[in-house]
Amino acid sequence: MRLTHDDALARLAGHHHAILATVHATRGVDLVPVVFALDAEGHVGLPVDTVKPKQSKDLQRITNLEADPRASLLAEQWDDDWSRLWWVRAELRWEPKPTPELVESLSELLAGRYVQYRDRPFARVLVLRMVGLSGWSAE
């Protein structure tokens, strides 16, 4: 059953992780699990942190967004009881030059949402704007 905008937004905001899809120049769709914060204006903050090991801070998702600013964020709930399944997809557009105030606000939301980010170990916070939202639930 199709979710209302408000129900889809509430489920996305309440979920703690999702799958980010960007477009790779040769492979096509590029998927990666992410954590995120969502503000009241529909901005999504994706941390590039210094907590988890990385080969570089120049992540493929950033290269992909620089070439094509479109992205999607998919949150879902799986359950063996299929009557409890749901998913929400946010259509996003990358904002390459967000204001420092917006980055600070999303950093604060991330720090409040995840204990690992309380000290704000961010090399960068990517900012994307939600341009569409849809969802489905078995209930």
pLDDT in tens, 33-44: 999 999 999 999
User: What CATH number does the domain containing 39 carry?
Assistant: 2.30.110.10
Q: Which residues of the chain have pLDDT under 70?
A: none
Which residues, 6 or more positions from 46, have their beta carbon under 8 angstroms from its beta carbon? 20, 34, 35, 36, 61, 125, 126, 127, 128
Query: Which pLDDT belongs to residue 19?
Result: 98
Q: What is the pTM of this model?
A: 0.94
Q: Which residue range forms the structural domain that includes residue 41?
A: 5-137
What's the structural domain count of the chain? 1
